[in-house]
Structure 1
Amino acid sequence: MRAEATDKVEGFEPPALGEPYLLTPGPLTTASSVKQAMLRDWGSWDGDFRAMTGDLRNRLLALTGDKKGEFDCVPIQGSGTFAVEAMLGSFVPRDGKVLVLANGAYGLRAAQTMQYLGRAHTLIDKGDYLPPRGAEVAAALDADPAITHVIVIHCETSSGILNPVGEISEAVYAKGRKLLIDSMSAFGAIPLDVNEIRYEVMVSSANKCIEGVPGFGFVIARKSELEAAKGRSHSLSLDIHAQWAAMEKTGQWRFTPPTHVVAAFLQALKLHEAEGGVAGRGARYAKNRDVMVAGMRELGFETLLSEQWLSPIIVTFFCPAHEKFSFPRFYDLMKGKGFIIYPGKLTVVESFRVGCIGHMDEHVMRRVVEAAAASLNEMGVDTAAPPATAIAERAKLAA
């Protein structure tokens, strides 16, 4: 007999079958009922599955605060990067120009996507330590009237910076341009209410703060933008207008949908709602971060970012300067204790990342700190203090 999905808040039980906790920005540790929801097979054209797709779209729209019916939700197969490329290819006119705001790998990936699309773009690259600010966005828009759109990463997970999207939105619309938001690792835990922050389109993914499993992303866009996107896309499979039009007409995905992933995501959405929605999920992640960061600092670790830019999604730490510290060894020791951490993606200094999201709470994060302390001890590392040059670089760039 298959297990029935529920919408009650589950305790943060250990992963099944000795699986490690995934301290990553997604895929992440999921609730047992989310996994159990995938035990049934669904017909992709069947009425029951069409109803599931409709429910998914409506539940996601509800998280935006859209009361006027100005937006719609379009899920699309693939990873988050598929959704970002679909957004850029569908909503930026071929004669448009995009200002890409980058402060890490994912902003730079958006710029790379524009290169592949062969569409005009320019870049503000803030490096690894700082967010783009509204004033410099405004200045860039004044300097280049050809810019039609701006794209910003809501939470840049290569460093953990939570970018000031509200401030950036005000600058963009004051200059008469349009904002696109990659909220891949923030939507569902960080508010992105359309009544508070203006934007045309945002994208996210099933396996992030909603705590589903990988398999699709989703686009939330103004209906006027969806209508205007007809014929723009460079790609058959990444054409958001075509996907939207098909779903509106038939309730079906154009091509084979990730049926099991959709079923899991619906259960994850029910748990998200039962936890208190965006506010409840965000509060748990913030507590996870605070407990973990405090404990790691007691061991001597230092965060890449200053306090004001730390997100509740993922935190980047400098690697210790100690001669006996080796990140591959540290990674293996942490994995052996039940925790998979994430390598750094910085260009300047050696680092690693610890995610705060997923089906886990502050008690798990205390165990993460204990595992880190034990791992350092096994390596013969008596302090996790970073190189003095790394701290100096942080101070110089943050000044």
Structure 2
Amino acid sequence: MSDLGWNPLHGVPSYPAERYAALADRIGGILRSRNDILLVQAEAVVALEAAAVSLARPGLSALNIITSPYGGWFGQWLRRGGATVKDIVAEPGLSVEIEAVAKALDAGPRIDVLALVHAESASGILNPLPEIMALARARNIVTIVDAVASVGGHQLDVDDLGIDIAVIGPQKALGGPAGVSALSVSHRAWDLILRDGAPRESILSLADLKTWIDGGRRGLPGTPAPLEFFALETALDRIEAEGMENIVARHALAASATRAGLMALGAAAWVPAEKASNLVTAVPVPEALEPASLIAAAGRLGVEITAGVGNGSARLVRLNHTGPRAAFQTVLSNVVVYGVALRQAGHPADISAASEAIADAYRR
């Protein structure tokens, strides 16, 4: 008789009910928010859809900023619930212009909700969040921010900015598990969610999740997946040990070093530094070359370079320096291998100068 051995995954203990509240409080600390923190037992796109579904209803007016497919989805979810949605669609692959947001807000009619993505891993851009939040606060508009990619990669002070609903996932810059996400929800957002018969009895109902808060924040509704919560707890241990300011600084350094390396290589970054995210650096591929061939050449050298995502990104490739990849070794290998791929395709690239520029950035 064969001995199949013991698989520890088959005997995972239940996650202790009393520790969910501690997890929520620790996430609130990361977000710098005293708002209610909800834990969602799914990848962050479910939390984003839950926010849209819980707010959307006839009579609600929303301004939705689209800088990637994610913003497009959010507008669809709001419309499906009966909301009236005005979209601001940025130039393909670029961040939104603050003047366009101000113009849309002043054009009327009254806007109840404003939604946007903070930083885009799809194209490597950063939207002007503080300026947009200031416009919304001045008009008493409830705000929803998709901070799934940006949390840990950029400074995010939810209460100081006045964000009413912030949606995060730990799997990107925070380097945590993908199967659990979280939202912070302000009192103003709850007033809007709970009025006029909020959606109930649904995995997408924030009103249902609020019963966890109202009931003393013990056992979560449904059947929790303990592995995800143990993994989240471990990730939070690591995040707190490093410190959020250090994590953000590590991503900022990785982004600036990548840009310095690309400049020395002879390759231009897609957007200027002040409009770029710290998560990935997008690079326009020279006209004579095909993005797919550069990606394949890098893959043969053991480095993953990916294509841009969304409108306007067809000729972009992305160098990923998110989470554990925000480190010297990854930044160096990304840029050097991109240079090697360019050379193999017959395009000049100064790999030595790029390596030196990256080393200089990290020495400073």
Matches within 5 A, 1:161-310: 161-223=125-187, 225-226=189-190, 229-230=193-194, 231-233=197-199, 236-246=202-212, 248-249=214-215, 251-277=218-244, 279-310=245-276
Q: Where does residue 336 of structure 1 map in the other structure?
A: 300
Q: Where does residue 15 of structure 1 map in the other structure?
A: none
Deviations 1:279-336 (A, max 9, x none): 11111111111222222233332222122201111121111223xx333332233233
TM superposition shift of 1:162:
1.2
TM superposition shift of 1:92:
4.3
TM superposition shift of 1:176:
2.3
Question: 2: CA distance between counterparts of 1:334 and 1:190?
Answer: 28
Matches within 5 A, 1:1-399: 41-43=11-13, 46=14, 48-66=15-33, 69=34, 71-128=35-92, 130-223=94-187, 225-226=189-190, 229-230=193-194, 231-233=197-199, 236-246=202-212, 248-249=214-215, 251-277=218-244, 279-322=245-288, 325-348=289-312, 349-360=314-325, 361-382=327-348
The residue type paired with residue 293 of structure 1 is R
- SS of residue paired to 1:338: coil
Report the identity percentage: 21
- SS of residue paired to 1:229: helix
- SS of residue paired to 1:101: strand
Deviations 1:88-136 (A, max 9, x none): 1113454211100122222222222223333211111112354334443
The residue type paired with residue 50 of structure 1 is A
Choose 340-349 or 161-170, whichever is displaced more: 340-349
RMSD in angstroms over aligned alpha carbons? 2.5
- SS of residue paired to 2:168: strand
CA contact (8 A) 1:102 1:127 kept: no
CA contact (8 A) 2:176 2:232 kept: yes
Deviations 1:46-68 (A, max 9, x none): 4x4323322221100112323xx
- SS of residue paired to 1:49: coil
Question: 2: CA distance between counterparts of 1:382 and 1:149?
Answer: 49
Choose 361-370 or 124-133, whichever is displaced more: 124-133
How many residues are matched?
Answer: 338
- SS of residue paired to 1:60: helix
CA distance 1:235–1:332, shift in 2 (3 Å): farther
Question: 2: CA distance between counterparts of 1:185 and 1:157?
Answer: 7
CA contact (8 A) 1:190 1:282 kept: yes
CA contact (8 A) 2:119 2:149 kept: yes
TM superposition shift of 1:227:
5.9
Deviations 1:339-386 (A, max 9, x none): 2222112433511112221213123211222222223333444359xx
Deviations 1:7-33 (A, max 9, x none): xxxxxxxxxxxxxxxxxxxxxxxxxxx
CA contact (8 A) 2:153 2:252 kept: no
CA distance 1:235–1:326, shift in 2 (3 Å): farther
Question: 2: CA distance between counterparts of 1:285 and 1:374?
Answer: 24
Moved over 4 A (4+): 38-41
CA distance 1:40–1:373, shift in 2 (3 Å): farther
Question: 1: CA distance between counterparts of 2:293 and 2:158?
Answer: 45
TM-score (norm 2): 0.84
CA distance 1:209–1:260, shift in 2 (3 Å): same
Question: 2: CA distance between counterparts of 1:52 and 1:337?
Answer: 44
Give ranges in structure 2 of 5+ residues lacking alignment.
1-7, 351-364
- SS of residue paired to 2:158: coil
Question: 1: CA distance between counterparts of 2:94 and 2:341?
Answer: 31
The residue type paired with residue 275 of structure 1 is E
The residue type paired with residue 265 of structure 1 is L
CA contact (8 A) 1:320 1:383 kept: no
Q: Where does residue 357 of structure 2 map in the other structure?
A: none
Deviations 1:119-173 (A, max 9, x none): 2111111123543344432332232234211001111222222111111111112
CA contact (8 A) 1:212 1:261 kept: no
